[in-house]
Structure 1
Amino acid sequence: MYYVYLLQSLKDKKFYTGFTSDSKRRFEEHNTGLVTATNYSLPLNLVYYEFCLNQHDAIHREKYLKSVNGKRYIKNRLKNFLLE
C-alpha cells in the first residue's frame, strides 16, 4: 500500500506533496531535515493523506494534487482545517 500525503510547514505555511510506502518513516525524515525539499521549513504538519493500492496510482495521484486542479481540490476539501 502507498500513501500520497500533504504536509504544511508551521514556519511559512507552504505545502509539500509526496508519496511513500512507509508514512511514519517518511514523515520522520521530513521533520528531522533529511529531505532537502522541506528542511528549510521545519517543523511540518501532516494535513492530508490518501491510500493507493500501488505505486503507479500513487505517482499519478501525487501529480494530480500538484496540478492547478489538484491544488484547488485540496484547498476546497481542507478549507476549514488549513493554517492561514
Structure 2
Amino acid sequence: MYYVYILTNLSNKVLYTGITNNLERRLYEHKHKLIKGFTEKYNVNKLIYFDSTTDVKSAIAREKQIKGWTRRKKVELIESVNPLWKDLSEDFKN
C-alpha cells in the first residue's frame, strides 16, 4: 500500500503533504522528529488526512496534485473527511 497524507501542527495549521509506503512508521518518524527539515522545524506531526492506493504512480500523482492546490482547496479536502481536524494517528496502535 502507498499512502498520501497531510500533517499539521494544529497551533497555526501549517500543512505538509507527503507520501509513504508505511504510514505508521512514517508518522512515528515525524512525531519523534527523526526526519530533518520542514516537519521538524514547524513541529508538524498531527495526521489530519490520508488516502491509500496499491499503485505507487497513482500515489505520486495524487501527492503532486494536492501539493499544487491552494490552501483553501486542501482545507476543503481535509474537512470533507475530518471536519474537526482530529489527529487520525491517535487511532493507531503504538
Fold-level match, TM-score > 0.5?
yes
Paired residue for 1:66? Answer: 67
CA drift at 1:11: 3.9
Paired residue for 1:26? Answer: 26
Root mean square deviation, CA, Å: 2.2
Extract structure 1 runs of 4+ deviating beyond 6 A. Answer: none
Instruction: Give the alignment of 1:3-42 within 5 angstroms.
Output: 3-35=3-35, 36-42=37-43
User: Which sections of structure 1, spanning at least 5 residues, go unmatched?
Assistant: none
Decide which structure has greater strand share. Answer: 1
Paired residue for 2:90? Answer: none
Decide which structure has greater helix share. Answer: 2
TM-score (norm: length of structure 2):
0.74
Q: What percent of counterpart residues are identical?
A: 32
Q: How many residues align?
A: 82
- Deviations 1:13-67 (CA, angstroms, capped at 9, x unpaired): 2011001010011001111112222001225210000011121111100000111
Q: Assess if the C-alpha contact under 8 Å between 1:11 and 1:43 holds in 2.
A: no
